[in-house]
Structure 1
Amino acid sequence: MRATSWARDLWRQVLEPGQWSRRRLVVEGLVAAVLALLAAGLEDLSHSGPVRTLTVALAVAALSLLRRALPTPALIAAAALTGSTPGGVLLLVPVGWSAGRRIPGVLHAVAAFSVSGAVCVALTALHEPPTPATLVFTVLFYLVAAVVPGLASRYWAQRRTLLRALQERNTQLLRERQMVAGQARMRERQRIAQDMHDSLGHQLALIAVHTGALEVDRELTGRQREAVGVLREASVAAMHELREVVGILKDGVAEEPAVEPVSRVAAGIEALVESAAAAGTPVRLDRSGEPRPLAPAADHAAYRIAQEGLTNAYKHAPGAPITVGLRYEPDSLLVEVANGPAPAGHGPWPAAVSGGQGLTGLRERARLVGGMVHAGPVDGGGFRLAGVLPYGTKEAREETFVDAADDFRGQSGAVPPGDGGPVIDWSDPREEFENIMGSKKKNGLMIGCGVGLLILVGLAVALVFGVSKVMDEADKGMIEPSLYASVQEGDPEEQVRGKLPSGKSFLTSDVKDKGPAEPAGASCLSLLSTDTSKGLTTDTVYRFCFQGGKLIEKREFDVKN
């Protein structure tokens, strides 16, 4: 049962549909084909037979395809192939890269690389004499070809995982802040709505009740009753508008009417002018151009401009003539309220109260719909308030809680937390990301760089030591062909040995027994030739045999590696 389950898991890891997308299939196939061709080329250079060359190429291609699904077995098999044949040398780099990032756990990864390194060194020692220089070269090659790519790949994968986790955390923090800001804004708006309903609504209700009672007073004249009726209607209209504003503040969004409301520019402003005229104010309405519909926000802004202009004229220039103008231009609507100078003997009403925010609010309304507001005195006395509002504009979209330019990789999305800007001045998400990273990221980066630097220094020292060792061994066991030709049989042994190196080198340790039989009773010295014209797989050996204090034989022969 265990064997069946293990085989099923192995099959799922290797051939699971999600493991092999079209793109990965193409890329992995190309990489495997290239590595197989390179392995076949190296085998051909080492004069391997066609069967062995084909076998090595197929093994390299198979390990290349399996290096992601089975990182540990692929790493050990690649190390064994590298130690057994030159065709597997180039496979260690991609296999080590894949194993470094895919082997779970540090201990597991260290064990896998240690076992594969031991296998590579052991199999290399079986094919060549296990001299110190051979071991150093094998270990050095394994470190460069497998361990360094594995460390780099593992660091890169861990860095990507850390960045992804930090991005997700940053996104979650932004969303939580959006929720907190929206809830705080909603609570504040509900508090404001409650205060407005309790205080301002009560005062307006009292005004409506008292004016209604005063309107039916028999002692009033007809003109006085008409003026009181205007006040009552104004207070009732103010109560309706207050109720609408309170509803918007409580719910957070304005309710969409079931039927398209009548434009306040067409009907509302006309009603304002009629009410002012009924109250005895000299006001007239001028219209020009062909009426065109406005978006609800622009329509409401036009109504507020006319309302604010009439209110200011009532308070600051009572009795002055007022002109309300509606000019439908080709691209925008111009709403204008202009009053002349106050008549002699009239000044501002003593009871006039101003919060100083009327014009500021109008400018903000106009800006949100793409328009503008101008207010100022006119020549000859008087005051003019005008607003330019474009057609077809919709109410400006509320800004998202995180500005697009400051959003870290667009993580917060486009869903606003509520209507309006944030209630708290949050920090830039990128600064928050740096704070999350903190000193741990810097310390980890410094540690990683330090470890990498130590590995590079160690590799450099090993490389220098290996090169110097090879050169020293070459000086002890190799001579030039010209030196071989200058020595003649019959020369004194002392003179000949003075010209030749000692021959005590690992390079010549295995060639002594591969040549022809030595003369009986003679002492022979075997050296390698520096001439490599016969190929890397064939060594030329010069042998010098001495007897009776003289050189009795010098011989040249070839040895296959």
Structure 2
Amino acid sequence: MGSAGHRVLVAGVGAAVLSLLRRRLPIPVLIVVCGLMSWLGGFFALQIVAGWSAGRRIVGFSRALVAFTGAYIAYAVGSVLIARAEDSRLTLMMSLVLPLVFRAMVVIPGLVSRYWSQRQTLLHALQERNAQLLWESRMVAGQARLMERQRIAQDMHDSLGHQLALIAVHTGALEVDPELTGRQREAVGVLRNASVTAMHELREVVGILRDGVEAPSAPVVDETGRAARGTAGIESLTDAARAAGNMVELRCTGEARPLAPAADHAAYRIVQEALTNAYKHAPGASIGVELRYEPDSFVVEIVSGTATVGKGEVVSGGQGLTGLRERARLVGGMVHAGVVDGGGFQVAGVLPYGTGEAAPVAAPAGDLPRQSYGSAGAYGPPAMDWSAPGRTAAMGELDASRRRSRAGGVGLGCAIAAGTLLLVVAAVVAGLFFLVDSVDEGMIDQDEYQRVKIGESEEGVRDRLPGGDTVFISGLSGKGPKEPEGSECLVLMSSEISDSFESEPVFRFCFRDGKLIEKKSYEVKR
């Protein structure tokens, strides 16, 4: 304010240039801004920005200490030089409170910025470390799960495979026994086909458990050459049921449409499980199987009547319908099971025509094998992605904690900013009290000047007047009328305001031999 045009231009251009350079050259910018602030008052606010940028970007505590010390020296030297050059009492007074101002305007922003930057760096390092540990723990859990699956697969292969092989061998030998009737030989053939089919399915399940990869998507055919484990294999299921002595009726309505492999396999399993339940829980009952190709979905419905023969002891795991519901859910469908009017039981499944599941992805070379849980049934929890995206997903789980940390950091930053503002306000208030006290030590009014009489004792006059121990009166002595020879004079400011901004009204009291010999009132140019 009140500066020449070229000073305003230099301050504006200099502030803009230094603001752009503060990130690339934090130390030189900090020292230059603090050194020129006394000459260019427009750099006053730029100190805060330079201190913040330097505190954040200077690497190493020793370098930061040297940088801020150099900035303070430049700040102090500039203030003292400008005070002496202009002989300004106010500037000299401000230089006395320079440490407090420098601390509030430069050091505190620098410390806050440095703390904030180091805290963010440490927080990010901890989050990455936590993500790494989480990813590694999942790898260990996946390895343990894979080993357990391999153990289960080996047990199934060694126990069930052996028993099914014995059944297949004995039924094959029994089928060619000449003493059997045609009806008996046909029943034995059904048993042998069932055991062979069970062997194939067991081999498929063991492969999934051992390798974690589902069977190839190519259609699997039975010994007659017909497609199995799909809608095309449902007819073979009903034929086998009839051959075993059950009354089974198969109906198909609507225009046939291809299903996705997973949904096709799910339809086969629904019919298979429903027929098995009917054999076990309602032996001799009539069974109706209906396949409906509706416009928006494929519906398979199995209805069994009440049992017509005595129910014997059956072995049931109790998980069949639960597995069907899970299988249908995985492909985007649903399964309903319940009692119908008349005492029968109904199992109905609704399956989509679309894909409904993600295709299994091959494991990268050198990586742990992936687990795939799709149309083959839910054999365990969702697969763990061992690739780099899996690691990224693990890190993504920490986003919530990062957001909470960011919110806490913002709150901490606001608290530090509020504390800094309070400190600056306290410094300003303390400075005002200091100014008021300094003014009282060097100022009197006109009435008090008039009450002092020439000839009074020096001790009495000095007791009534301020001591003049303040920076406000520095530079006033020797600028007025010539002092009496051999006297000692006390110059005080007047409480009255001069008509001219460039002059200061003062009072002078001169003492010699312990008495007041002269008093004068005049104006001194600033």
TM-score (norm 2): 0.78
Question: 1:52 & 1:493 partners in 2: Cα distance?
Answer: 52
Alignment of 1:67-466 (within 5 A): 67-128=22-83, 133-257=93-217, 264-343=229-308, 346-350=309-313, 352-395=314-357, 419=373, 420-421=380-381, 463-466=428-431
Aligned-partner Cα distance in 2 for 1:417–1:318: 39
Residue aligning to 1:23: none
Quote how far apart the aligned CAs of 1:260 are.
Answer: 10
Q: Which moved more, 1:546-555 or 1:240-249?
A: 546-555
What CA distance in whole angstroms lies between the structure 2 residues aligned with 1:190 and 1:271? Answer: 32
Report if the CA contact (8 A) 1:190-1:249 is conserved.
yes
* Residue type of the alignment partner of 1:80: G
Sequence identity percentage = 51
Kindly indicate whether the alpha-carbon contact (under 8 Å) linking 2:219 and 2:228 is maintained by their aligned counterparts in 1: no
List per-residue Cα deviations over 1:390-433 (Å, max 9, x = no partner): 332422689xxxxxxxxxxxxxxxx9876452699x9x966997
Higher mean alpha-carbon deviation, 176-185 vs 165-174, is at 176-185
Q: Paired residues, what number?
A: 479
With 464-473 and 519-528 compared, the bigger mean Cα shift is at 519-528
Contact 1:528 1:539 in 2 (8 A): no
Verify the 8 A CA contact 1:170 1:429 in the aligned structure 2.
no
Deviations along 1:487-539, one digit per CA (max 9) or x if unpaired, are 679975769989864443210111223x344354474634155638756xx45
CA contact (8 A) 2:161 2:199 kept: yes
Alignment check: 8 A CA contact 2:292 2:299 kept: yes
C-alpha distance in 1 between matches for 2:455 and 2:125: 77
- Gapped regions of structure 1 (runs ≥ 5): 1-41, 399-414
Separation of aligned partners in 2, 1:387 and 1:145: 74
Matched, 1:554 2:521: yes
| Cα distance in structure 2, aligned partners of 1:216 and 1:260 | 27
**Aligned-pair Cα RMSD in Å:** 4.1
How far, CA to CA, are the matches of 1:276 and 1:234 in structure 2?
A: 11
> What does residue 506 of structure 2 align with?
542
Q: Measured at CA, do residues 381 and 58 of structure 1 come closer, stay the same or move farther in structure 2, by a change above 3 Å?
A: closer
Task: Return closer, same or farther for 1:353/1:73 CA change in 2, 3 Å cut-off.
Answer: same
Conserved 8 A contact 2:337-2:347:
yes
Spell out, residue by residue over 1:439-484, the C-alpha distance to the aligned partner (whole angstroms, 9 max, x if none).
xxx9x99x999999998887676555433221111112235xxx44
Give the residue type in structure 2 aligned to 1:169: R
CA contact 2:231–2:264 (8 Å) conserved in 1: no
Shift of 1:52: 5.1
Q: 1:450 to 1:490 in 2, by over 3 A?
A: closer
Whole-angstrom CA distance in 2 between matches of 1:119 and 1:386? 87
How far apart, in 2, do the equivalents of 1:506 and 1:353 lie? 106
Which one is further off, 255-264 or 157-166?
255-264
Superposed CA offset, 1:322-343 (max 9, x none): 1111122332222222222222
Inter-CA distance 90–382: structure 2 relative to 1 (3 Å threshold): closer
Counterpart position of 1:468? 433
Mapped to 2, the partners of 1:126 and 1:363 lie a distance apart of 88
- Once the two structures are overlaid, the 10-residue window that deviates more, 503-512 or 547-556, is 547-556
Q: Deviations over 1:297-353 (max 9, x none)?
A: 22211111111111122222222211111122332222222222222xx22234x31
Q: Which residue of 20, 23, 27 corresponds with 1:65?
A: 20
Aligned position for 1:531? 497
Specify the alignment match of 1:5 in structure 2: none
Amino acid of the structure 2 residue aligned with 1:341 = T
In the alignment, is the contact (CA less than 8 A) between 1:512 and 1:526 conserved in 2?
no
Measured in 2, the distance between the counterparts of 1:340 and 1:533 equals 118
Q: Which deviates further from its counterpart, 221-230 or 490-499?
A: 490-499
Matched, 1:508 2:449: no
Query: Residue 370 of structure 1: CA displacement?
Result: 2.6
Corresponding position of 1:402: none
Contact 2:229 2:268 in 1 (8 A): yes
Shifted more, 262-271 versus 242-251: the winner is 262-271
